[in-house]
């Protein structure tokens, strides 16, 4: 399975997926920390991939997504954006609506790394 196939499978299998540096409990950069805080405030489970442990995904995902930076939030197979967009959506309440709708449509999600 190619790296791009792995990325596609992760995105398709997880309705709420955050590619980040570190983990939600131990983010390894300020941007990932802020994105995680915004997502956790929505009160729904979400999957994550620690790109620091997956250098192949770290190098391929920006090309696949046409988005150069991390974190990257994907909801229902669509790229939402990075930290700035996530925090803007959180401030307006749109993020919570998007996350709750995705969670309700699919049930609880698991860690994408499992």
To the question of whether residue 84 is assigned a binding role by annotation, the answer is yes
To the question of whether residue 29 is assigned a binding role by annotation, the answer is yes
To the question of whether residue 8 is assigned a binding role by annotation, the answer is no
Residue 87 in tokens:
């925090």
SS3 (DSSP) at 83? helix
- The whole-angstrom separation of Cα 29 and Cα 70 is 9
To the question of whether residue 21 is assigned a binding role by annotation, the answer is yes
To the question of whether residue 42 is assigned a binding role by annotation, the answer is no
- The whole-angstrom separation of Cα 49 and Cα 6 is 11
User: Look-up: residue for tokens 């925090």?
Assistant: 87
- The whole-angstrom separation of Cα 110 and Cα 13 is 9
From the annotation, which residues make up the binding site?
21, 29, 58, 70, 83-84
From the annotation, which residues make up the binding site for [2Fe-2S] cluster?
29
From the annotation, which residues make up the binding site for glutathione?
21, 58, 70, 83-84
């Amino acid at each position: 399975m190619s790296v791009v196939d792995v990325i596609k499978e992760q995105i398709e299998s997880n309705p709420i997926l955050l590619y980040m540096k570190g983990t939600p409990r131990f983010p390894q950069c300020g941007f990932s920390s802020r994105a995680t805080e915004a997502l956790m405030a929505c009160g729904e489970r979400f999957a994550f991939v620690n790109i620091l442990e997956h250098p192949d995904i770290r190098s391929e995902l920006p090309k696949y997504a046409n988005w150069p930076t991390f974190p990257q939030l994907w909801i229902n197979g669509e790229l939402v954006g990075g930290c700035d967009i996530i925090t803007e959506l959180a401030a307006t309440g749109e993020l919570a609506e998007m996350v709750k709708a995705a969670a309700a449509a699919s049930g609880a999600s698991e860690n994408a790394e499992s």
